[in-house]
Copies of this chain bind each other. A is one copy, B any other.
Amino acid sequence: MNWSVANRRDVDFLLYEVLGAEDLLMRERFADHDRQSLDSALDLAFSISRDILFPNARKADAEEPYLEGDQVKVSPTAKAGVNAVVEAGFIAASGDFEDGGMQLPMVVTQACLGLVKGADPATVAYAMLTRAAANMLKAHASKEQQAKYMASMLEGRFFGTMCLSEPDVGSSLGDIKSSAVPHGDGSYRLRGNKMWISGADQDISENIIHLVLAKLPDAPAGARGLSLFIVPKWHVRDDGSLGERNDVRVVGLNHKLGYRATSNCALNFGESGNCIAYLVGKPHMGLAYMFHMMNEARVGVGTGSTMAGYAGYGEALRYAKERVQGRPLGAEPGSAPVPIINHPDVKRMLLQQKSYVEGGLALCLFGAFLIDEAATQEDQEQRETKEQILDVLTPIIKSWPAEYCLEANKLAMQVHGGYGYTRDFIVEKLYRDNRLNPIHEGTTWVQAQDFLGRKVRMAGGNPFHMLLDSIRCEIAAHEQLPQTSSAADALRTVLDQATDVIAEMAALQDAGKTEAALMNATNLLFAFGHIVIAWLWLWQSRVATAALEKSDVSDERNFYQGKLAAARYFFEFEMPQVSALLCPVAGGSTVSVEVTGDQL
């Protein structure tokens, strides 16, 4: 098996046979690439994952970062992992050639980043945060700021952070209290306490560039009053050398369930009144800038969740083939025990994982592909359309893998039995790591509100209906396919149910009944997530069915048959749950609104 975190055959299938990523090579931005250069990037991601990150992930997890004075120290194991990702150039994988980037399509970039994240999300996080911060500067910072900070970040000499949350402000960023005051010389003095800052301090990179949300004195109230600032840990002189230490201090290190190799800190800015900050872009635009990067960030979280689930699936599959225990159902007690992969319930658990992780990967890569389309299609209208469809899908991409690929990790542990409960097997760590994903980058509830409250209604509901058209188009393509036509019918039925419910909720919201519209949004999000995954399984089935007709290579036939089996599992076991999830939404269950805190 050519596996490391994910099955290489599957990554190729999704990229090239399903999404047709090679078509992107005709776009001007990717003209210098060919199939071979894309494959080389994937080869590199596979080899780093297999040779460096995955084998050291448990060790990096056990060697948790610690404070020495106010300096966070990171273990050499974790450093080696981050450095491998930095040296591969993955911070700038999708970046412009002129900035030293690889200018890879986003769909290939996300596949590569997903592979290294799946191998060890905690170690790799330092590089991913740097990537996100550098992208933000690329989009909104001045040329001077880019030259001074971004270039070193893309090289991996400086790392970046995102400082949003505060001790009392998690999901409601409008309540941020950090403030920045103009100093008269173009710089600002920033004060505030930030919480949950991943990579807030470490001893890996030469410098740390914090991107901080804070309010200017003349800021309007709420989320529209936030501005974005650069706060370097060490000041950077004009010649690029490091100057004095800035007034930003670690005040506490969080100890977490998982993601242990990632330092996560509370930071105090301006305790001594001398935290020098630089405004990025225009005043009061901070949250808009953040939102601008949000689709990509959330596709990144989805891909990370998926790949953690995928890595667990691979481990469970390997273990199930090796581990001998028990007998086939109905066999004589004295007969020889068999590898546990022969037990239907073990295969059911593996199919469930496979349907979640390969379905999740299809979803995330489709999302990444939309980013490419939105950035590089020639037609302006087409670009906007693709961006809007991505807007609609983003809350699902963020939340569905976070919830269901965590479930996959739970099942991977179950396949391992007692062994899986020990820290000797990596499924234990994956289960801990992946639990973060329904919480950070917007909780599942935040995504549910975003999907039902905003995304299905944006631009008059047109983008949502374009997504529905894509799904219906796939359903129609199965009318003549005997193997999948009844699955397509089933999808049509629940899709109609879901769209009816969504229309009702949108009407309620248009009528100002926000609470009634959104009170059961989480169930709707899960239901629609399953519909999207079912659509992607239909799509994969169609491609696999066509390929099977042409292939007589045994490994290839097994691969495609496996796709059909996972799709069948999803339609037979998972699809019935969509109607069940929709029930309380359609029925307008008010129990969550009506119950009082005193009754709970």
Chain A interface residues (CB < 8 Å from chain B): 165, 168-172, 174-175, 195-196, 221-223, 254-258, 317, 320-321, 324-330, 333-334, 337, 339, 341-348, 350-351, 354, 410, 413-414, 417-418, 420-424, 428, 431-432, 435-436, 438-440, 443-445, 448-449, 512, 514-515, 518-523, 558-559, 561-562, 565, 568-569, 572-573, 576-577, 579-581, 583-584, 587, 589, 591-600
Option from B175, B345, B558 in Cβ contact (under 8 Å) with A592:
B345
- What residues on B are CB-neighbors of A324 within 8 Å? 168
Q: Is the CB of A257 within 8 A of B597?
A: no
Q: Is the CB of B414 within 8 A of A440?
A: no
- What residues on B are CB-neighbors of A413 within 8 Å? 435, 439
Q: Is the CB of B418 within 8 A of A591?
A: no
> Min CB distance, A197 to chain B, in Å?
11
Q: How many copies does the complex hold?
A: 2
- Given the complex of chains A and B, what is the CA–CA distance between A436 and B337 in angstroms? 25
Q: Is the CB of A330 within 8 A of B223?
A: no
- What residues on B are CB-neighbors of A440 within 8 Å? 418
Residue pairs across A and B with Cβ atoms less than 8 A apart, 27 shown, are A169-B325, A170-B325, A170-B417, A171-B325, A175-B325, A221-B333, A222-B334, A223-B333, A258-B421, A321-B597, A329-B515, A329-B518, A330-B514, A339-B597, A343-B445, A344-B520, A345-B448, A347-B595, A348-B520, A558-B599, A562-B600, A565-B594, A565-B600, A569-B595, A572-B587, A573-B589, A576-B579
Option from B169, B175, B333, B342 in Cβ contact (under 8 Å) with A174:
B333
* Cβ-closest chain B residue relative to A416: B439
Q: Is the CB of B595 within 8 A of A351?
A: yes
- Given the complex of chains A and B, what is the CA–CA distance between A536 and B364 in angstroms? 42
- Given the complex of chains A and B, what is the CA–CA distance between A443 and B431 in angstroms? 18
* Cβ-closest chain B residue relative to A582: B576
- What residues on B are CB-neighbors of A321 within 8 Å? 597
- What residues on B are CB-neighbors of A347 within 8 Å? 592-593, 595, 597, 600
> Min CB distance, A529 to chain B, in Å?
15
